[in-house]
Each structure stands twice: as structure tokens, then as C-alpha cells.
Chains A and B, each alone.
Chain A
Amino acid sequence: MGFRKLINSKKLLSFFAAFMLLGTNLLMAQTEAGGAAAGQAEAPKVDWTGVAYYVLIFFLICLGVAIVGKILKVYDLTLKMQGKKGLNWNTVMATICIVFLVAGLYGAYWSFTEQGSMTLPEAASEHGVKIDEMFTVTTILTMIVFFITQILLFTFLFRYRHSDKRRAHFLPHNNTIEKVWTIIPAIVLTILVVFGFFTWQKIMNSENLKEDINIDVTGHQFAWELRYPGKDGVLGPKDYTLVTGTNNLGVNFKKKASFDDLRVDTMYIPVNKSIRLNILAQDVIHSVYMPYFRVQLNAVPGLPTFFKFVPTITTAQMRSKLDDPKFEYTLYCNKICGGSHYNMQKVVRVVTEAEYQTWLSRQKPYLNDALRKELHFASANEQSNGSTNRLALNN
């Protein structure tokens, strides 16, 4: 069946009409279907900008394109009938190239200003500032190359479009030019490599220092578990073979260091203190990702990793900077770990030292009554000596 025949087909048109009239209820998007599912009396709201609406728009656009195509064809034929040359598609394409260049450059500029302003603000950690500096340098260098090469590419296309009156320039090679554009990128990349290498080494080769605040972050499907050391400042050892329903991190309570460890729901960290995240996973690979602090490291089962950073902007300060009273720093999972991967989060709150101590004093020990019972330890009341966790950490 020819294309013309196909679009004139009564069956096809009837199908299309039926689709538009009857298909909408079935096919279009419905908003707030959850409400309907929950048994609310209200019928689901029908969104008329659903699939059928867009299909119609698409067909209209196609029609527009087809009409423009026909007009061009008629114009082309008219020219030929008048004994003139037909449409020069090389010129048409070259012109579109230059239009694309101008529109594209404006689009890139618009994108940088509009969407660029939606990206992360200044880093909220010490090393993050260094990363941002490197990012700025890399952006400037690469954008210079981007704009120059794209402008040359599309300008050449327009300037050297086909003409029967001239021949292309025979230029198979030029060693001097080739050396220049091999050496210049090599120098630029060497600069980036050297700065990048030393920045990376500084970020990653952190020694374990006494004053670091150690926090255990353990990922499992689909949550993060946080453990802080108690007053001894040391996290007790863990062993996956000790995992039970109550001791779901597998903390080894045969070791004294484990007794005072704390279990917390929200990650509180004091500003301007060195934080060491001990990152672990129980089942599959997860990834600790805190973009505002420029922190990311995978949580790998059987392979504990750690990341050290110093937060520099408190949550309150960031709320003020962003003019968003509800802002929270968040710890995401950045590695596929299963269906609920997209919602595996933990709130991170950067606070002052005093706020941190206050919060810490309210936290409950990991070794709770259920665990004591399971491990046949003496009960909490018997053990209690009335002390708090105020002296807990490495401050």
C-alpha cells in the first residue's frame, strides 16, 4: 500500500477517530489515581493533556512539516519550469547549520544561566572547596575549546558549502600544525593531571587521627544504619556472622569497646570537625553520596572503606544561604541496590559543637535491653551507673 493510499485509508482514519474519541479515557494520564484507589468518592481527575492530546499535536506538527515540504517542492518545480536552477539544498543545509550554530550558542548560554543557577551551591566541606576550584578551572578550559571548535565546525560548513564554481583546497597534511595541536592539548591536560593528582591524593590519603569523629555508616536494602562510638571514642568491632534480628549490625559484644556504642537515626556532625565515615554494606553494593559535602564512596560488602571530610557550613547557615527553611543535607544511595534504591536516604545535620554535644547526650546505646536479653547480659537497670554519653567523643 502506497503512503498516500495509507493516509487516505478509511479504516485508518476511522481508527484514529475512535482512538481520539474513545481511547482518551483508557489511554490518557490520570492524576491522583492514588486517591481513587484509596476509595475516595471523587472520580479521578482526568488530565486532558494526556497521550491522545500529544498524539494529536504530533500529527498536526507532521502535517505542518508535510505542508512546508510540499511548498518547497512546488517552489522547486516552478523554478525548474522557468528554466532556472532548482532549490540548492547545499545552501539550504549550510544556512540551517549557521542558524543552528547561533541558536545553539544562545541555547547553551541560556542553559548555563538558567539551569546552571539550579546546580549545587558552594561546597559545604573543606576538600569540597578544592574540588570546586578544580571544577572551575576545568570548566573554563573545556568551554573555551567547546565554543571555538563548535563555532569553527559550523562556520566552515556554511563558508565552504558546495559550489560548482570552485574546487576544494588539496591539503593532505601539515606537520607544523599537527604538532601544535598535539602539543597544546598535551600541555593543558598535563596541568589538569598534575593539579588533579595532588588534589585527589590529599582528599583520599587521609590518615586516621585521634581527633576524628568516627561514624559507622552501614547500607542494606533499603536503609542506612548509623553507629557512633560511646564515651571511649572507639567503635566496637563487627562481624557479619553475629547478625541477628536484634543485633542487625552484627556488633561484637564480647569486646568492651562495643558496650557504649550509640545507635542514631539522624547523622549529626559538628561543624569544622574532622569526620571519618566508616562505610560498610551488608548485602549488595550501596554508595554513600552527600553532594553538598562533595563526598561519595561505595559501600561494599566484605570491603570496608572510609571517607574523611570536614563540614564547614551548618544546616542553619545553608538554610539561610538558600533561603529555604526546610533544607536538609541528605545522604543518598548512589549505586543500584534494588527496587527502593531511589528512596534510601538519611538526613545529615551539621550543627555547632554545643548542639552536637546536647544531641549526643540524648542518644541511646546500641546495647539495648532486647540485646542484653538475647546475649544473656545483666539487665540495663543493674548495669546503669547513671552516667550519660556526654564525654563520649573525641572532642
Chain B
Amino acid sequence: MSTSAVHDHEVAHHDDHGHEHHHDQSFLSKYVFSMDHKMIAKQFLITGITMAVIAMILSILFRIQLAYPDKTFPLLTTLLGRFAPNGRISPDFYLALVTIHGTIMVFFVLTAGLSGTFANLLIPLQVGARDMASPFMNMLSYWFFFLASVIMLSSFFVQKGPASGGWTIYPPLSALPKAMPGSAEGMTLWLVSMVLFVASSLMGGINYVSTVLNMRTKGMDLWKMPLTIWALFLTAILGILAFPVLVAGVVLLIFDRSVGTSFYLSDIVLNGVQQPFEGGSPILFQHLFWFLGHPEVYIVIMPAMGISSEVMSVNSRKPIFGYHAMVYSLIGITVLSFIVWGHHMFVTGMNPFLGGVFMITTLIIAVPSAVKTFNWLATLWRGNIRFTPAMLFAIGMVSFFISGGLTGIFLGNAALDINLHDTYFVVAHFHLVMGSAAIFGMLAGVYHWFPKMFGRMMDEKLGYLHFWLTFICAYLVFFPMHFMGLDGVPRRYYAFTEFASMSKWLTINTFVTWAAIIAALSQFGFLYNFFVSMFKGEKATQNPWESNTLEWTTPVEHLHGNWPGEIPTVYRWPYDYSKPGAEEDYIPQTVPYSQTMSSNLPHDFEDNPAGLEALNKYASTLKANEQVK
């Protein structure tokens, strides 16, 4: 791959921004309508955290129902009013809770909160750019996301409550406003919110891709980019290609709801009344939805993979093992993720041959995933591992990715999926692989780049406590669910004790709920640590983790434009850790090879014959000196 940084542009851009930090900014322009990518990253993070806390509370509410299906809690009526009459959550509101929990976690936390935060923070800083390609569009991206969040949450205040057809909002349930309370105004708000959300994602994604392609600093060719950037770059491409299909699907759904079209509807009798819909197919929506929905899984997990790779390399003091293989596996996952969506539809009644094809593509995607896992293990092998909270969360991410990824092999197998589809086995699988793993990747990123974002350090001990409580509880919550699924317990059941055969899981469900509550409470420890450290944490040094990447060459105090004066030039890849012959166990990307002759290797000069010649000359000088001695 050739170097393609647009240096001329950068020079001009630098001139534009060089003094920008001296400009007086009002509170509004600095903190609210900021166009600085670092501030936008913080906005995404804090909004994402807020949404995560809300989604977490929703999950605790429905977990209480699952743990105590026969008990009443008067407090619930006080808090939720008509949604929890007689001290119990109503069945309809239960479905609304699982729907909004899923929607918020998948889209608002793990997509916008994760990609929005780290793509905004890291892309310009790690590729060596003053800001995003279009700072204004970047700001709009955040505000569309914020608006989408507000609209999604406002659905709790409409008469019939929020959408409740599951986060996948399959029609006809979502297309017939009278089908259930959650199909009414709440569903309309869900759809409107999602359109705004996708607009936000597209504006963000286009910015990320154009910044990576056009605004890399001198020397930063594609093979010198950190894995975080590769992951965020490919994630943005996934989003740009997949999200518009969801919007198309959603717009057709709005037509079916409001204009009387029949894209997804046919032969419907609702409450004994024949509906005038003919010729549509609900399965069409599922094809459109999952064309986004499955890449969405990777939109969520790939940034976590990139962040974890970076954090593990820094804290193992080792180069990430198989950098090229890591990049190729990310590319492989990106491409394959577009042709696996049908595995979500094995039991919809689609053509079985097509199901077989999707099974093949689905299982193939496990190969690049396996390569990544083994490479992470090899990165740890013979490392000198520092247990920062970020490192622990990155390790947790790998552990969850292994556990959850392996159960994906069951679900990707169409024959096995017949019995496991829509059971707790699926819930366990995706909560480990794209819930817990992705959240852990996100938390690893927060702990690692907190000094970069806020100029202060987070408390390590609280971080340790946060990690172990969350890590252990996440396994306690999701591991038993596999067995419930293997017993055929369907997901999203309000009261599984209605069935004698399922009642035996009551004790496990109570246990799981309490594990979930402890996990949730431990997040408040994190919130305390996060917000207190933001103002009162120990002041950070410029490069607290002794890392090689470019973001740690910027001053601790933020300035719009990132670097005072010239943007540094990059000379080497980002993973020169513990190189034999080097004085320190890390060599930043900005250090030229001419300054580290004692640690240079022949392959450092593969594209640089002059450098290789200099290395040979240096080696022969050393040899001559030894002979003299």
C-alpha cells in the first residue's frame, strides 16, 4: 500500500489552525456547539454513558420481573405509574423495556457511544490531522445523535409507551399501529429517532473515512496506522454501506404505517377485522433490517477489537503479534459481514438452500475471528504485562470474545439454530460477544485515553474493583443463560413460570438478576471515578503509558489544531515495543530510525535502500570496533 497522505493540504490546514487555540471561545462554542473533534468525542462519550445508565436501569427492571414473576413491588407503581399497575410491570411494558434496552445498547451506546467517542478522539490524533475533514458536519453528527436520543427517550412519555416489538421491530407488529400498545406512537418515535440516528452515523462515518484517507500526516502510510484506526476506518465503511439500507427499510415501514402501502403486509386480519393489505412480505423487512443488522454486530465489535489490540500491545510492552494478519482479518470480517445476514432468518421460512449458503458464509467469518484471538494470545506470550485497568478490560474483552464467539458457531449452523433460535442461548451469545466484549473494549478505551481526554488520571484501585466486579458478574449473568436456552426457554417471555417445564429456572433467574444488580451497582463506582477524576484526578503527564502512537505527542492541555507548530512526521509503525538494542522499551512513531541505529532491523528498511545501507554500515562499524577491542 502506498503512502497517500495529502501533505500540501496539511501544511495549509496547519496554517489555518496554528493559532486557533488563542481565539476566545464562548461557553456555547467551546462546550456545546464545538467543532473540535476532541470535545465532540467527549460529548459522544458522556451522552453514551448517560444512555448506557438508562438502558442498564431498564434491564434491571425487567430482570426483577424475571426473578420475581409472582411478587409485587409497590415501588414500581410509584416509579412507573400505569406501566406497572398493582406493583408489577405489565406484560406490554415488559416488552417495551426489552425493546428500548436493546435499541439503546446496540445503537446509542455501542455504535454511537463507542465509535463516536473513539473515532472522534483518535482518528485525527493518531493519523496526525488537525481535525476531522469536515468539523461542521462532525458537530452536526453529534447533534443528530443527541436529538435521536431525546426522541427515543421521549417515547416513555407518550400515552401507550415506547415501541415494544423487540429491537428488530419486525412488521407487521411495527407496521400496524393497533397491533399492540407499543406499535402506536412509541413506534413512530422509534422510527423517527432511528432515521436521525442513521443520518448522524452517516455524517460521522463519511468524516472518519475522508479523514483517514486524506489527512494523514507525513509518513503515516496505511501500514503505519495503529489498529484502532484500521478498526474505526473499516467500521465507518461498514456503517456507510449498511445504514442506508436500514433507512430505506424504515421509510417503507413508515409508508406502510401511515400511507396505506403494503411493502411488508399481506393477508392480515387484526382483532377479527380484515386489513386492506396485499402482496407485501414481512420477510422483506427482515432482509433489509439484517443487511444492516449483522454488519452492525461488527460495527460494534471492531472498534472494541482495535482498542483492545492497542491497549494490549502497550501494556504487554510487545508489538501486536501479526499486525498484517490483524488488518487482513479486519478487512475479511468487513467484507464477509455483508453476506451473512440470512443466519438471523434461518427459521423464517426463506428458501432452505439460501439458508445453507448463509450458513457457509457465517461459519467462514469465524476464521478471521479465530486469527485475531490467537494473535492476542501471542501478543501476551512472553510480554511484560502491566495490569492497568485498561489492560484488564482489554483482557476481559478477549475472554468474552472467545466465550461468546464460540457459541456463535452453534447459532451459525442452520440445523442447530432450529432449536436455539430466539432462546436464551442467543441472549447469552450476543450479550457476551457484542454486549460485554464491546462494552469492555469501550471501557478499556475510556481508562486508557482518559488522560488524553481530560488531562487527568483515573483512580486505578477503583478501576480494579470496577473490572473484577463487572467481569465476574457478567459471566455469572450470561453463562447460565446458555443452559436455559438449551432447555428451550424462549427469550422475551414475561412470565416463564406459566410453564411447568420452565419453572425450574426460577432459582437461576433470581441468581442472574442479583448478579446483574451487583454489576449495575459497580458501574456507579465507575461513574464516581470518571466524574471525580475529571476534576480532581492526579494530573496526567504527556505520555503516561509510554505509548508509541501520535496522540501522546500532543500537549496535555487541549488546543484546537492538536499540535502547536508542525504536525509531527511519522517514521515507523506504532508497535516498536521492547525492541532489542533500544534504550527504552518503547520507540514513538515520531522517532526516526537514524536515532535508534542500535535497535534497527533489516525489515525496518524494506522500502528504504538508503536506510538499509546505513544499517549495514552501522553494523560493520560495530563489528570493527569489537575486533579492535
Is there an interface contact between B419 and A294, defined as CB atoms closer than 8 Å?
A: yes
Given contacts A169-B383, A341-B95, whether A199 and B363 have CB atoms under 8 Å apart is no
Task: Please list the 9 inter-chain residue pairs (A to B) with the smallest Cβ-Cβ separation, ordered nearest first.
Answer: A291-B488, A302-B266, A305-B349, A204-B352, A93-B387, A169-B382, A115-B483, A119-B486, A33-B72
**Is A177 in the interface zone, CB < 8 Å from B?**
yes
20 A-B pairs (CB sep. < 8 Å): A69-B461, A96-B468, A100-B468, A100-B472, A156-B383, A168-B585, A196-B413, A200-B356, A200-B414, A200-B415, A245-B272, A283-B179, A287-B422, A294-B419, A298-B348, A300-B283, A336-B95, A342-B493, A343-B495, A343-B498
User: Interface-forming stretch among A22-30, A256-264, A266-274, A354-362?
Assistant: A22-30
Report whether A161 and B268 are in contact in the complex, using a CB–CB cutoff of 8 Å: no
**Is B92 interfacial (CB 8 A cutoff)?**
yes
Report chain A residues within 8 Å CB of B395.
Answer: 97, 153, 157
From A33, A111, A285, B479 is in contact (CB under 8 Å) with: A111
Report yes or no: B352 in contact with A168, Cβ–Cβ below 8 A.
no
Given A146-B402, A298-B348, A345-B499, A181:B92 Cβ within 8 A: no
With an 8 Å Cβ cutoff, the count of chain A residues facing the other chain is 122
Whether B398 sits at the interface, judged by CB under 8 Å, is yes
Most chain A CB neighbours (cut-off 10 Å) among B269, B319, B366: B269
A182 interface hit (Cβ, 8 Å): yes
A 33-44 to B, binary, CB cutoff 8 A, 1 in contact else 0: 100010000000
Interface string of B452-476 (1 = CB under 8 A from A): 0000000011001100100110010
Pair B418/A296 contact, Cβ less than 8 Å: yes
- Of A326-334, A371-379, A384-392, the one touching chain B: A326-334
Is the C-beta of B4 less than 8 angstroms from some C-beta in chain A? no
- Report if A81 contacts B (CB, 8 A): no
How many residues on the B side are at the interface (Cβ–Cβ under 8 A)? 132
Contact between chains at B374 and A181 (CB < 8 Å) = yes
Cβ of A83: which chain B residues have Cβ within 8 Å of it?
none
Most buried by A among B267, B316, B348, B492: B267
Within 8 A of A (CB), among B596-626: none
* B43 CB, nearest partner CB in chain A, Å: 26
Q: Does A90 contact B (CB under 8 A)?
A: yes
A302 touching B486, Cβ below 8 Å: no
Pick from A193, A205, A292, A305: contact of B360, CB under 8 Å: A193
Neighbouring B residues of A343 by C-beta, 8 Å = 495, 498
Chain A positions within 8 Å of B154 at CB level: none
How many pairs, one residue from A and one from B, have CB atoms within 8 Å of each other in the complex? Answer: 373
Report whether B385 and A157 are in contact in the complex, using a CB–CB cutoff of 8 Å: yes
A189-B418 contact in complex given A142-B406, A245-B272, A284-B179, C-beta closer than 8 Å: no
Known: A170-B580, A283-B270, A302-B268. A94 touches B385 (CB 8 A): yes
For the complex, give the distance between the alpha carbons of A47 and B68 in Å: 12
| A200→B172 CA distance, assembly (Å) | 28
Enumerate A96-116 residues with CB–CB distance to B below 8 Å: 96-97, 100, 104, 107-108, 111, 115-116
Contact check, B282 vs A303: say whether CB atoms are below 8 A apart: yes
Distance of A282 Cα from B468 Cα, bound (Å):
49
A20 to chain B, nearest CB (A): 14
Q: A-facing mask of B60-100, CB < 8 A → 1, else 0?
A: 00000000101111110010000000110011100100000
